[in-house]
């Protein structure tokens, strides 16, 4: 979600590159299903064999999204060509956070339950959730969102993209957003604890709609280098990648109680 010189819930990777095949096995493409046609709308992250975490704005607030079925596509690198091992399962339960008020704002997190469990494999694996909020400098974003424009037309990749991001402390992010929106008269929607941010605010690297709901990942342990889900792509400034414009995510560590309450994963 991105905002024209303000905020908007469009997610796209700017300044990234094609990811290595199946280097993000928790990555899910959420696709609207109309008859036999599917279209990618958002990213998501597998947190068990039948639960997916994404942004609330990806699963509610639009009559089209409310009306059509959503399928979860896991184990694929190319959203236009499903290689062997790809699994597609219907979403049967959508749970946006009860305090999410729609649009740009806090609590932009939701949970999806699939009709059947995914068969876990090398290319389909759940990601770990954070125990505490402790961000290091090894963070990355992945997604199939818009990565450039030609003659003002958005260009979406069919193959998964990724980019290394720079963590931006809350105060720096808040002040950067204040400078951008001060001329619009809008309020600053950034909420401490609920959100976290990435830069660089020098521009050129950003997430902004196909990436919405997708994972911001931190890599821990120098020996095993395992990924932990720390953020969910929520909103940014349009046009994406502009100097001075951070990208805003939902801080997953702030919602562990909500996640456990809905999924009951902590008790299984």
Active site residues: 57, 108, 212
Q: What is the DSSP letter of 159?
A: B
Classify each residue of 8-29 as buried b or exposed e, where b means 16 or more C-beta atoms within 10 Å of its C-beta. Answer: bbbbbbbbbeebeebebbbbbb
CA dihedral 175, 180, 183, 187 (to 10 degrees): -60
Handedness of CA 237, 12, 139, 59 (dihedral sign): positive
3 state SS of 256? helix
Q: What is the DSSP letter of 48?
A: S
Cα–Cα distance measured from residue 117 to residue 268, given in angstroms and rounded to the nearest whole number = 15
Cα–Cα distance measured from residue 142 to residue 47, given in angstroms and rounded to the nearest whole number = 16
> What is the residue-wise DSSP string for 119-148?
--BTTB-PPBPPSS----S-EEEEE-S--E
Peptide bond into 239 cis (omega under 30): yes
């Amino acid at each position: 979600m991105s905002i024209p010189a303000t905020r908007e819930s469009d997610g796209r990777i700017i300044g990234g590159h094609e990811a290595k095949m199946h280097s993000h096995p928790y990555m899910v493409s959420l696709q609207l299903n109309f008859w036999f046609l599917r279209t990618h709308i958002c990213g998501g992250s597998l947190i068990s064999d039948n639960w997916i975490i994404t942004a609330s704005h990806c699963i509610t607030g639009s009559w089209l999204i409310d009306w059509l079925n959503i399928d979860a596509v896991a184990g694929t690198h190319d959203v236009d060509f499903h290689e062997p091992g790809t699994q597609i399962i219907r979403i049967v339960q959508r749970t946006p956070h009860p305090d999410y008020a729609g649009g740009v704002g806090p609590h932009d997190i939701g949970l999806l339950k699939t009709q059947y469990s995914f068969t876990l494999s090398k290319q389909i694996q759940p990601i770990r959730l954070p125990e505490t909020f402790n961000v290091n400098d090894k963070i990355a974003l992945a997604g199939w969102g818009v990565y450039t424009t030609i003659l003002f037309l958005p260009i979406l990749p069919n193959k998964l993209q990724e980019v290394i991001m720079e963590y931006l402390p809350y105060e720096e992010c808040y002040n950067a957003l204040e400078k951008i929106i001060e001329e619009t008269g809008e309020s600053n929607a950034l909420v401490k604890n609920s959100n976290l941010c990435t830069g660089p605010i020098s521009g050129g690297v950003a997430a902004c709609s196909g990436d919405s709901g997708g994972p911001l990942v931190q890599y821990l342990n120098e020996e095993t280098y395992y990924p932990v889900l720390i953020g969910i792509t929520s909103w940014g400034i349009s046009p994406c990648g502009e100097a001075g414009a951070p990208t805003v995510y939902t801080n997953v560590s702030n919602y562990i109680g909500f996640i456990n309450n809905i999924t009951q994963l902590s008790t299984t």
